[in-house]
Amino acid sequence: MLYRLLLYVHIFSVILSIGPFFVLLPLIKKLRASEAGTQQAYLDIFRFSVRLAKHAGHVLVASGVLLVLAGPWTWKTPWIVMTLILMASSLFFLARAFSPTIRKFGEKGQDKDALIQLLRRSVWIYIVLLMAMLWFMVTKPALWQG
């Protein structure tokens, strides 16, 4: 019963980690045509989404560790190793991709279109990283003998 609850928490935290980034895609289009006041509201949504993903990621990692400890897999299982590598990459990417770019919107002389394009690219890269991790967790491929 406890294992199933942990699995539920883990899956829910995955949803909270990935879901907001799909909402940001149409928001980027609106950001391009926005005025300064509205632009700030859109950037606040971006900040909130990134913060939500970070906190959900903490729950995701904690529940994942507990699932490995309580479950039938080891830390050497190929899909777990690959997920951990992608997770480290996504954490590094998340720390550098969004907040610095969002802060630049407030600086004078910044090219708004270039910043928006950078945000769009960052959202897609992060979605791909998260979806790859999800693929490993769902399909559990045996890439090598673990």
Which domain does 99 fall in, by range?
2-139
Q: What is the pLDDT of residue 33?
A: 87
In a domain, 146, yes or no: no
User: pLDDT tens, 124-146?
Assistant: 999 999 999 999 999 999 988 75
Q: Count up the domains in the chain and report the number.
A: 1
Instruction: State percent of the chain over pLDDT 90.
Output: 76
In a domain, 99, yes or no: yes
pTM of this structure:
0.88
Taking the CB of residue 20, how many other CB atoms lie within 10 A of it? Answer: 20
In a domain, 32, yes or no: yes
55: pLDDT strictly greater than 90: yes
In a domain, 144, yes or no: no
Under 8 Å between Cβ of 63 and 9 = yes
Q: What is the pLDDT of residue 36?
A: 81
Least confident of 7-11, 82-86, 92-96: 92-96
What DSSP character marks residue 125?
A: H
